[in-house]
A and B are shown apart, each in its own frame.
Chain A
Amino acid sequence: MAALGAASGALAQDSGDHDGSGSGHGSMDMTGSTEMSATSHVGHAGFPTGSVPPARAGIDPTAILRDFDTGTVSTLPNGQVLREWEITAIDVDIEIAPGVIFPGWTYNGRIPGPTLWCREGDALRIRFTNAGSHPHTMHFHGVHTAEMDGTPGVGAGSIAPGATFSYEFDAVPFGTHLYHCHQSPLAPHIAKGLYGGFIIEPKSGREPADDEMVMVMNGYNTDGGDDNEFYSVNGLPFHFMDHPVQVKRNALVRIHLINVLEYDPINSFHVHGNFFHYYPTGTMLTPSEYTDTVSQVQGQRGILDIRFPYTGKYMFHAHKTEFAELGWMGFFEVSE
Chain B
Amino acid sequence: MTASRDTTTQEHDVKSGAQRMPRWLLGAGPLALIALLIGLFTLLNAPGITGAGDRVPEEAVAVENIRLEPGEIILFVRNEGVDPVTIAQVNVSDYFAQFTQTTAEMAPLQANTITVSYNWVAGDPYEIALITSAGGKISADIDAAALSPEQGASFFGLMILLGVYVGVIPIGLGMLWMPFVRRSSRGWIQGLLAFTVGLLVYLTIDATLEGLELVADNAAFGGSLTVLLGAFIAYISLEGIEGMILRSRRTTPGDRALSPQMLALLIAVGIGLHNLGEGLAIGSAYAVGSLALGASLVIGFAIHNTTEGLAIVTPLAAQRPRIRRLAVLGLIAGAPAILGALIGATVTQPTLAALLFGIGAGAVGQVAVKLLPMLKDDTGRILTPLTAGGIIAGIAIMFATGLLVTI
Question: Across the interface, do A229 and B91 meet the contact criterion of CB distance under 8 Å?
Answer: yes
Q: Which stretch from B96-104, B211-219, B323-331 is at the chain A interface?
A: B96-104
Residues of chain B lying within 8 A (CB to CB) of residue A101? 133-135
Q: How large is the interface on A (under 10, 10 to 19, 20 to 34, 35 or more residues)?
A: 20 to 34
Indicate whether A69 reaches chain B with its CB closer than 8 angstroms.
Answer: no
List A residues 32-67 near B (Cβ within 8 Å). 32-33, 36, 45-48
Question: Across the interface, do B136 and A99 meet the contact criterion of CB distance under 8 Å?
Answer: no
Question: Across the interface, do B99 and A33 meet the contact criterion of CB distance under 8 Å?
Answer: yes
Residues of chain A lying within 8 A (CB to CB) of residue B11? none
Residues of chain A lying within 8 A (CB to CB) of residue B188? none
Indicate whether A147 reaches chain B with its CB closer than 8 angstroms.
Answer: no
- State the Cβ distance, B22 to closest chain A Cβ, in Å: 55
- CA gap between A22 and B129 in the complex, in Å: 29
Indicate whether B407 reaches chain A with its CB closer than 8 angstroms.
Answer: no
Q: Which of B90, B94, B100 has the most CB of A within 10 A?
A: B94
Question: Across the interface, do A31 and B135 meet the contact criterion of CB distance under 8 Å?
Answer: no
Question: Across the interface, do A32 and B98 meet the contact criterion of CB distance under 8 Å?
Answer: yes
List B residues 121-137 near A (Cβ within 8 Å). 129, 131-137
- CA gap between A115 and B158 in the complex, in Å: 66
Residues of chain A lying within 8 A (CB to CB) of residue B87? 31
List A residues 143-179 near B (Cβ within 8 Å). none
Question: Across the interface, do A220 and B135 meet the contact criterion of CB distance under 8 Å?
Answer: yes
Question: Across the interface, do A325 and B96 meet the contact criterion of CB distance under 8 Å?
Answer: yes
Question: Across the interface, do B101 and A98 meet the contact criterion of CB distance under 8 Å?
Answer: no
Indicate whether A77 reaches chain B with its CB closer than 8 angstroms.
Answer: no
Interface string of B74-89 (1 = CB under 8 A from A): 0000000000001111
Question: Across the interface, do A45 and B95 meet the contact criterion of CB distance under 8 Å?
Answer: yes
Indicate whether A79 reaches chain B with its CB closer than 8 angstroms.
Answer: no
Question: Across the interface, do A99 and B133 meet the contact criterion of CB distance under 8 Å?
Answer: yes
Candidates A32, A220, A222, A326; contact of B90 at CB < 8 Å? A32
Indicate whether A186 reaches chain B with its CB closer than 8 angstroms.
Answer: no
Indicate whether A223 reaches chain B with its CB closer than 8 angstroms.
Answer: yes
At the interface, is chain A mostly helix, strand, loop or mixed? Answer: loop
Residues of chain B lying within 8 A (CB to CB) of residue A229? 91, 129, 131, 135, 137
Question: Across the interface, do B94 and A33 meet the contact criterion of CB distance under 8 Å?
Answer: no
Q: Beyond A48-B97, A97-B89, is A30–B104 a contact (Cβ under 8 Å)?
A: yes
Residues of chain B lying within 8 A (CB to CB) of residue A102? 135
- State the Cβ distance, B1 to closest chain A Cβ, in Å: 70
- CA gap between A223 and B91 in the complex, in Å: 14
- State the Cβ distance, A38 to closest chain B Cβ, in Å: 15
List B residues 166-217 near A (Cβ within 8 Å). none
Residues of chain A lying within 8 A (CB to CB) of residue B136? 222-223
Residues of chain A lying within 8 A (CB to CB) of residue B95? 45, 325-326
Closest to B100 in A: A33
- CA gap between A47 and B91 in the complex, in Å: 9
- State the Cβ distance, B81 to closest chain A Cβ, in Å: 15
- CA gap between A32 and B114 in the complex, in Å: 11
Indicate whether A100 reaches chain B with its CB closer than 8 angstroms.
Answer: yes
Question: Across the interface, do A30 and B131 meet the contact criterion of CB distance under 8 Å?
Answer: no
- CA gap between A46 and B98 in the complex, in Å: 9
Residues of chain B lying within 8 A (CB to CB) of residue A36? 98
Residues of chain A lying within 8 A (CB to CB) of residue B135? 100-102, 220, 222-223, 229
Question: Across the interface, do B131 and A222 meet the contact criterion of CB distance under 8 Å?
Answer: yes
Question: Across the interface, do B86 and A31 meet the contact criterion of CB distance under 8 Å?
Answer: yes
- State the Cβ distance, B118 to closest chain A Cβ, in Å: 11
- CA gap between A101 and B135 in the complex, in Å: 7
- CA gap between A105 and B179 in the complex, in Å: 80
List 12 extra interface pairs beyond A100-B133, A223-B135, CB under 8 A: A32-B88, A33-B100, A33-B104, A97-B96, A99-B89, A100-B88, A100-B135, A101-B133, A222-B131, A229-B129, A325-B96, A326-B95
Q: List 26 A-B contacts (CB under 8 A).
A: A31-B86, A31-B87, A32-B90, A32-B101, A33-B99, A33-B100, A33-B101, A36-B98, A45-B96, A48-B96, A97-B131, A99-B89, A100-B88, A100-B89, A101-B133, A101-B135, A222-B136, A223-B135, A223-B136, A225-B137, A229-B91, A229-B135, A229-B137, A325-B95, A326-B95, A326-B96
Task: Give me the interface of A with B, judged by CB distance under 8 Å.
Answer: 30-33, 36, 45-48, 97-102, 220, 222-223, 225, 229, 322, 325-326
